[in-house]
Structure 1
Amino acid sequence: MPAAPPFPVADPLGEALHVLRMDGVFYCRSELGEPWGMTLPATPGCLWFHVVTSGGCRLTVESGDGGRGTEHVLRPGELALVPHGAGHVLRHAPDAFAPDIRSIPHSMLDGRYALLRHGGDGPVTRMVCGAVRFGHPAARELVERLPGLIRVEPSPRGDRVQDTLRLIAAEIEDGRPGSEAVITRLADVLVIQAVRDRLEQDADARTGWLGALADERIGHALAAVHRAPERAWTVATLAATAAMSRSAFAARFTDLVGEPAMTYVTRWRMHAAVDVLSGGDATVAEVAYRFGYRSEAAFARAFVRVVGEPAGRVRRRAAGRGPAGLEAFATPG
C-alpha cells in the first residue's frame, strides 16, 4: 500500500490565491455632491470595486440580457465588487442623470490614480473606486466563478475586510502625504480579502482544480505542479508525489479535476507561460526553454492549442496595454 503523502495541502484556498496577482489599472478617489451620477462602461477582463467611505449611493449592474438590472443601495463601510467587468451605474438617487465616467473631468495624481470631484452643491458622498485585472489565466478562472455582484456589508464583529475598509477611510480623512499610494495598496488587499471570503462561503465556486486542492492526495500533486510547472511531470511522477498507484491516481485525478492529469499539467504550464510572457521581458524562445521544451516550435504549437493565440502576440501586447475602454480613464478631462 502506498505511503501517505509527506503533508496534505493545509490551506487549499491559500494555495489557489497565490495566482491572484493583480495589476491595478485605474484607481479613483471621488467626492460627489448631490445631484450626481456616473456610468461605468463594460470593461471585459477587469474587476471593479467600490468602497463608500461616507454618504451613500445606488449601484445598478447591467443584467446579462441588456436590461437595467437590480439596484442596490451602498452605505458607509460597504464594499461592492463587480467581478466580470459588467457595465454599471452609480448615482445618488434613482433615475439621476449618469454620464459616462470618461466624459467627466478629473485630475490625475499619477499615471493610474485620479481625483474626481463631480455633481452639485448638495450632500457629499466619498468613495474609492478602481479597476484591477489578474494576469494569470488561472486567476481569471477563479474570478469567473464569482457572481456578477458581491457586496460586503459592515460587520459588528470587525472582520479583516472591515478593518481594511476603516484604514482606507482613515487615509482619505487624514489626507497625509503619500495617501494615494497607501490607498491603492490597501485597495488591492481589500479585493483579495473579499474574493477569498466569497470563495470560502460559496461551495459551488470550489469546483475543478480549486476543489481538488482540498483532497489530501490529489491536492498534494496539484500543489507540486503549481509550484514547479517547468518540471518534466509524468503521470508516474505525479502519482508518486501523491503516494498513489499510477492507475488509481489517474482515475481519481480525472474524477476530481475534470480532465486527465497531463492535460492539466500542459494547461497550467501554458498559464504560467502567459504570466511570464505578459511581463514583456523574456523572449518566446527563453520561455520555451524555461518550461522544458526542446524546441521553440513545439512550445509554440502547445501554446496555441491551449491559449488560442500565438505566444509572440501575447508578448507584444503586454507592454503598456490596458483593457478596452480604460485608456480614456487615465486621461484628464
Structure 2
Amino acid sequence: MTHPTSHPPVHADPLGESLHLLRLEGTLYNQGALTAPWSIAVPRLEGLLNFLVVTAGRCWLVLDGHEPIRMEQGCLALIPHATPHRVCSDLDLPPVPLFEIPVKKVSERLEIMRYGGDGEPTRTMYGCVRFDHVAAHHLISHLPDVIYISRWEEDTGDWLQSTLRLVAREAAQMRAGGETVITRLADVMVIQALRSWLDTAPEANRGWLAALRDPQIGRALAKVHAKPGEDWSVDLLARATGMSRSAFAARFSAIVGSAPMTYITHWRLSVARNRIAVTDDPVAQIAGDVGYKSEAAFMRAFNRQFGISPGRLRRS
C-alpha cells in the first residue's frame, strides 16, 4: 500500500488517475451458499463500499428508499455509501440481521456463509471494501446510492461474465492461493463497475466528475491532487493550462462549483485530515507537507474547515 504521504504522478487523464487511487483497503469478502427461504438485513457500515454479485440463482436487493432490484445470475450491484439494505429470496420474508448468521472463516479476508431452508439455491459474493486516499473518497462521494450492472448490458457483460467465471472456478476448487485470487478478482470487479458507471451515467458528466474530464480544468486538478503542498496560485494554474487568469478562474468556478483557491484549501485540509486519522505523523510535519508554513495557521484553518482540532480528531 502506498504511504499516505507519497504523491501520485500527474497523468494526462485526471479521471483515470482518480480511479488509480481507488486502492482497496480493509476488505472482507463473503461467499454465500443460500437456500430459500432466506432474508438478510445488512446495517449501515460506515466508511465502506458494499457490493453484491450473484454467481448462481437469483435474489432481491432492497435498499432503504429505493425500489427492489431483481438480481439474476451474473448481475452486480455496488452500494457506495453503505446504505442499509436487505438481500432475500422473497420480498415478504422478515430479515435476519447479518451479524446473527454464523459464518466459516477461511482467512482474515474471506468467509463462507451457508444459510436458509431447503428450497432454491442461490450463490453470491458479497464484499465490504474501504478506500484509503482522499481522491478516492471524493470520487465515491459523487456516486449514487446504488450502481446496478446487468449481465445483459452489452458494454459490460463480457468483462463481468469472464471475471465471474474465474471467481466461480477458484471458489469451487479453492487451491493454494485461491483466496488471494478471489479477493483480487473481486477488487477488479469493483473498479470495472465504477468505470462502467462513469462512462455511461449522465450524472458523471456534471460537477467535479465533469471537471476531471475537462482538458484544461482536469489538468489543473491533477496537478493539485498530485502535489497539494505546492505553492499554488490562480496565476500558476492558469499558465499550466494555457489560459488567462480570468478565463481559468471563471471556468474552474463554473465547472467545479468553487473558486480555485477555495478548492485547493479544502483539498489540502482533506489530505491532512486523512493523514491525521491513519498515521502517527506529527501534525507539524503534515501541515508543512500540505503547504502550510506555520502549524498555528494550519490548526486555525483545520478547525475552521472541520469544526474539530487535529489533536482531538486523532484522539477520537
TM-score bracket relative to the smaller structure: 0.7 to 0.9
Q: How far does residue 247 in structure 1 lie from its aligned partner after superposition?
A: 2.2
Q: How far does residue 137 in structure 1 lie from its aligned partner after superposition?
A: 4.1
Aligned: 1:134 with 2:131: yes
Task: Give the structure 2 partner of residue 101 of structure 1.
Answer: 98
Task: Give the structure 2 partner of residue 207 of structure 1.
Answer: 206
Aligned: 1:81 with 2:78: yes
* Structure 2: distance between partners of 1:315 and 1:274: 9
Q: How far does residue 264 in structure 1 lie from its aligned partner after superposition?
A: 0.9
Distance 1:177 1:261, change over 3 A: same
Aligned: 1:259 with 2:248: no
CA contact (8 A) 1:137 1:274 kept: no
CA contact (8 A) 2:229 2:288 kept: no
* Range with greater deviation from structure 2 (281-290 or 225-234): 281-290
Which ranges of structure 2 fall in alignment gaps of 5 or more residues? 1-9
CA contact (8 A) 1:28 1:116 kept: yes
* Structure 2: distance between partners of 1:26 and 1:177: 19
Question: Which deviations, in whole Å up to 9, do the C-alpha atoms of 1:277-302 show, x marking residues without a partner?
Answer: 33323221221122222222211222
* Structure 2: distance between partners of 1:278 and 1:168: 34
* Structure 1: distance between partners of 2:312 and 2:86: 34
Aligned: 1:153 with 2:150: yes
Task: Give the structure 2 partner of residue 58 of structure 1.
Answer: 60
The code of the aligned residue for 2:122 comes to T
Given the two structures, how large is their TM-score scaled by the length of structure 1?
0.83
Given the two structures, how large is their TM-score scaled by the length of structure 2?
0.88
* Structure 1: distance between partners of 2:24 and 2:308: 22
Aligned: 1:288 with 2:287: yes
Moved over 6 A (4+): none
Task: Give the structure 2 partner of residue 66 of structure 1.
Answer: none
Task: Give the structure 2 partner of residue 191 of structure 1.
Answer: 190
Task: Give the structure 1 partner of residue 5 of structure 2.
Answer: none
CA contact (8 A) 1:12 1:210 kept: no
Task: Give the structure 1 partner of residue 7 of structure 2.
Answer: none
Partner secondary structure for residue 261 of structure 2: helix
* Structure 1: distance between partners of 2:307 and 2:160: 37
Task: Give the structure 1 partner of residue 39 of structure 2.
Answer: 37
State, as a whole percentage, how many aligned pairs show the same letter.
Answer: 45
Task: Give the structure 1 partner of residue 117 of structure 2.
Answer: 120
Q: How far does residue 118 in structure 1 lie from its aligned partner after superposition?
A: 1.1
Q: How far does residue 228 in structure 1 lie from its aligned partner after superposition?
A: 1.0
Give the number of the structure with larger relative contact order, counting CA–CA contacts within 8 Å between residues 6 or more apart. Answer: 1
Q: In angstroms, what is the RMSD of aligned CA positions?
A: 2.3
Q: How far does residue 183 in structure 1 lie from its aligned partner after superposition?
A: 1.6
CA contact (8 A) 2:29 2:126 kept: yes
Partner secondary structure for residue 278 of structure 1: helix
Task: Give the structure 2 partner of residue 229 of structure 1.
Answer: 228
Question: Which deviations, in whole Å up to 9, do the C-alpha atoms of 1:166-209 show, x marking residues without a partner?
Answer: 22222212222222222222212211111121111113233223
Q: How far does residue 164 in structure 1 lie from its aligned partner after superposition?
A: 2.2
Aligned: 1:277 with 2:281: no
* Range with greater deviation from structure 2 (217-226 or 306-315): 306-315
Question: Which deviations, in whole Å up to 9, do the C-alpha atoms of 1:105-130 show, x marking residues without a partner?
Answer: 11223334322111123332211101
CA contact (8 A) 1:138 1:271 kept: no
* Structure 2: distance between partners of 1:197 and 1:147: 13
Which ranges of structure 1 fall in alignment gaps of 5 or more residues? 1-7, 64-68, 318-333
CA contact (8 A) 2:74 2:160 kept: no
Number of equivalent positions: 305
Question: Which deviations, in whole Å up to 9, do the C-alpha atoms of 1:134-163 show, x marking residues without a partner?
Answer: 333443332233222221111467533333
Distance 1:264 1:98, change over 3 A: same
The code of the aligned residue for 1:28 comes to N
CA contact (8 A) 1:212 1:256 kept: yes
Q: How far does residue 100 in structure 1 lie from its aligned partner after superposition?
A: 0.2
Task: Give the structure 2 partner of residue 48 of structure 1.
Answer: 50
Partner secondary structure for residue 110 of structure 1: coil
* Range with greater deviation from structure 2 (240-249 or 189-198): 240-249
